[in-house]
Amino acid sequence: EYDGERNSEGERHGRGKAYLPNGDTYDGEYEHGFRSGQGTYRFKNGACYTGGYLQNKKHGQGIFFYPDGSKYEGDWVDDQRHGYGRYTYANGDTYTGEWFNHNRHGQGTYIYKDTGSKYVGGWVNGNQEGEAELIHLNHRFKGKFLDGNPVGHGKYIFDIGCEQHGEYIQSEQDKGEGEEEEEPSLLVAPKWKASEITKLTLWTPHGENPPAP
């Protein structure tokens, strides 16, 4: 069912409203029979998209409200989250940064609502990967990540002024003698091995004696 403007060929062209057989509705602009331009598409399941279209596909700037309460606000290319955008998850976490083919990819910041911690750095195909900083309330970790876990050399920087340098080592699950490698080995979180702690620099006001060691 379509209610709206058409061109001389009878194609949907201009502004119009369509009721789709599956229960979805579209209210917006058309060009030569395609959803093109600005429009609002409401899905039967409660989801809703408002933004740009090009030949029936989400394209340009748009906001998508998902049925679980999460939402994405940003760039779309060919029906995919692609470019720069902000995603607010159902639990209140947010990701702001680059997207590629629907995934978090490039540089971005993920903020964990529960703890206030944030990850600032690289992403590959939706996973935390590359150089990054994980910033907590009173300290932060600076290093490399792979598949969402810290890996290799890095350092913890504490607000009190000291740094702990070290590296993350992937620990292997201990296997009993003669056990077959049938089950995939359990993924164990990498272990932090500290190598040195750099000294705290004490600041003393002018004219006062530094505290006795």
Q: Are residues 35 and 135 in the same domain?
A: no
Question: Residue 56 pLDDT > 70, yes or no?
Answer: yes
Single out the residue of 50, 61, 57, 49 nearest to residue 31, CA to CA: 57
Domain span including residue 165: 91-171+190-202
Q: Which residues pair with 35 in a beta bridge?
A: 30
Going through the chain in order, the beta strands assigned E by DSSP cover 2-6, 12-19, 25-31, 34-42, 48-54, 57-65, 71-77, 80-88, 94-100, 103-111, 118-124, 127-135, 139-146, 149-158, 163-169, 191-198
In a domain, 185, yes or no: no
Contacts of 2 (CB under 8 A, 6+ apart): 12, 16, 17, 18, 19
Model confidence at 212, pLDDT cuts 50, 70, 90, reads low
Total number of domains constituting the chain: 2
**Out of 10-14, 147-151, 182-186, least confident range:** 182-186
Q: Are residues 9 and 79 in the same domain?
A: yes
Model confidence at 160, pLDDT cuts 50, 70, 90, reads confident
Contacts of 205 (CB under 8 A, 6+ apart): none
Question: Residue 178 pLDDT > 60, yes or no?
Answer: no
174 Cα distance to chain centroid: 34
Dist. CA 105–CA 85, nearest whole Å: 11
- The pTM assigned to this predicted structure is 0.83
In a domain, 184, yes or no: no
In the chain, the percentage of residues whose pLDDT exceeds 90 is 79
In a domain, 211, yes or no: no
In a domain, 42, yes or no: yes
The predicted structure's pLDDT at residue 189? 79
Q: Going by DSSP bridges, is the β-strand pair 57-65/80-88 parallel, antiparallel, or unpaired?
A: unpaired
Higher pLDDT, 205 or 18: 18
The predicted structure's pLDDT at residue 175? 46
The string of pLDDT tens digits covering residues 78-132 is 999 999 999 999 999 999 999 999 999 999 999 999 999 999 999 999 999 999 9
Q: Which residues pair with 103 in a beta bridge?
A: 100
Q: Are residues 41 and 59 in the same domain?
A: yes
Q: Are residues 145 and 197 in the same domain?
A: yes
Q: Are residues 37 and 100 in the same domain?
A: no
The predicted structure's pLDDT at residue 206? 61
**Out of 6-15, 84-93, 187-196, least confident range:** 187-196
> What is the DSSP secondary structure assignment for residue 24, as one 8-state letter?
-
Q: Is 18 helix (H, G, I), strand (E, B) or coil?
A: strand
Residue with tokens 């209140």: 92
Average of per-residue pLDDT values in the chain: 90
In a domain, 103, yes or no: yes
Question: Residue 73 pLDDT > 90, yes or no?
Answer: yes
